[in-house]
Amino acid sequence: MVLSFIGTGNMGGALARAASLNRNNRLLLANRHPDKAQQLADLIGGTVCDNLQAVTDADYVFLGVKPQMLEEMLQDVREAFQTRKSSFTVVSMVAGRTIAQIQEKIGCNAPVIRILPNTPVAVGEGMILYVCSDEVTQEMEQGFLEAMAGAGRFSKIEERLADICSVVGGCGPAYAAMFLEAMADGGVACGMPRIQAMEVAAQMMLGTAKLMLESHAHPGVMKDAVCSPGGSTIQGVRTLEERAFRASIIDAVIASYEKTLRF
Ligand SMILES: NC(=O)c1ccc[n+]([C@@H]2O[C@H](COP(=O)([O-])OP(=O)(O)OC[C@H]3O[C@@H](n4cnc5c(N)ncnc54)[C@H](OP(=O)(O)O)[C@@H]3O)[C@@H](O)[C@H]2O)c1
């Protein structure tokens, strides 16, 4: 399978790195400043190319530029998309751009998989939500999932849910990092060395998330399991409730969602 990445920045680079874990993938890396693509190729393998070759020579063409750069990037390759004879799939990670908009910008009804990835893709623990256009065959979808399996967990969604899914999955790492920082601060305030406090907080979050995914337990049940009667955990829970911890997070998700709708 040949996968090309146009734009090897934070997200395109992380996805290319995940793709490099599958030995059956051959990678083509294109970036406005090619030295950035070369640095990535030195790390993960693959061949540096220009945008045109990325469009003409790959089975899956990943679009990894910022939304405001998309039009300029497509100017030189639109015709190559339109005239390609062999089968290919466009994989767009461009935030806020629908499948219909991507097809309109390319100027043809190419098969498009719209993905909503997040930064933990970089360590193979990403949450990758995706939507397929009508033109994407089962074989194309399966090929995509196999090629990108090293990126993390995949879930197919309806496009009408893309914006809110991208907030929970994509903005979430920022909220989670704030929670981790605050847990570590609390530990430091009570005498823990910073490094140790961060390690304990991070592993605690990783383990809790894994427990929830593997046991399918409701988070409320998981919370209750830690709160022994008259114990210390319930005092922390009481304090969080007093300071509107859950309401703050619900409001944060709604605020990010409303902003997403205004882009
Ligand atoms: N970061 C996230 O958490 C995240 C999550 C979900 C979706 N996304 C989406 O992923 C896309 C990339 O985001 P990012 O955070 O990776 O941004 P980024 O780090 O700025 O990467 C964008 C890359 O595109 C390259 N580029 C710009 N114009 C180009 C052109 N005409 N031809 C080839 N390459 C070009 C840039 O090259 P230069 O550096 O040389 O300018 C840069 O390496 C965006 O559409 C974003 O919405 C990001």
Do both 73 and 181 map to the same domain? no
The residue whose CA has the least distance to atom 32 of ligand 1 is: 32
- Which of 78, 112, 121 lies closest to 94, judged by CA? 112
To test the pocket of ligand 1, the residue of 29, 32, 114 to mutate (highest count of ligand atoms within 8 Å of its CB) is 32
**Phi, psi (5° rounding) for residue 262?**
-90, -5
Q: Which of 157, 191, 207 is the last residue of a domain?
A: 157
Determine the distance separating the centroid of ligand 1 and the alpha carbon of 17, expressed in angstroms: 15
Q: How far apart are CA 5 and CA 54, in angstroms?
A: 7
Determine the distance separating the centroid of ligand 1 and the alpha carbon of 13, expressed in angstroms: 9
Do both 193 and 150 map to the same domain? no
Do both 148 and 214 map to the same domain? no
To test the pocket of ligand 1, the residue of 6, 11, 53, 63 to mutate (highest count of ligand atoms within 8 Å of its CB) is 11
Do both 147 and 171 map to the same domain? no
Do both 150 and 63 map to the same domain? yes
Q: What is the CATH number of the domain that holds 57?
A: 3.40.50.720
Do both 35 and 151 map to the same domain? yes
Do both 149 and 211 map to the same domain? no
Q: How far apart are CA 237 and CA 230, in angstroms?
A: 12
Do both 116 and 196 map to the same domain? no
Ligand 1 pocket residue status of 126, Cβ below 6 Å: no
Q: Which of 127, 157, 187 is the last residue of a domain?
A: 157
Q: How far apart are CA 36 and CA 109, in angstroms?
A: 31
Q: Which of 135, 157, 179 is the last residue of a domain?
A: 157
Do both 48 and 80 map to the same domain? yes
Determine the distance separating the centroid of ligand 1 and the alpha carbon of 201, expressed in angstroms: 31
Do both 216 and 148 map to the same domain? no
pLDDT one digit per residue (tens) for the chain, 263 residues = 999 999 999 999 999 999 999 999 999 999 999 999 999 999 999 999 999 999 999 999 999 999 999 999 999 999 999 999 999 999 999 998 999 999 999 999 999 999 999 999 999 999 999 999 999 999 999 999 999 999 999 999 999 999 999 999 999 999 999 999 999 999 999 999 999 999 999 999 999 999 999 999 999 999 999 999 999 999 999 999 999 999 999 999 999 999 988 87
| The pair of three-digit structure tokens given for residue 153, joined into one six-digit string | 């967990």
Domain that holds residue 54: 2-157
Ligand 1 pocket residue status of 12, Cβ below 6 Å: yes
Q: How far apart are CA 149 and CA 130, in angstroms?
A: 13
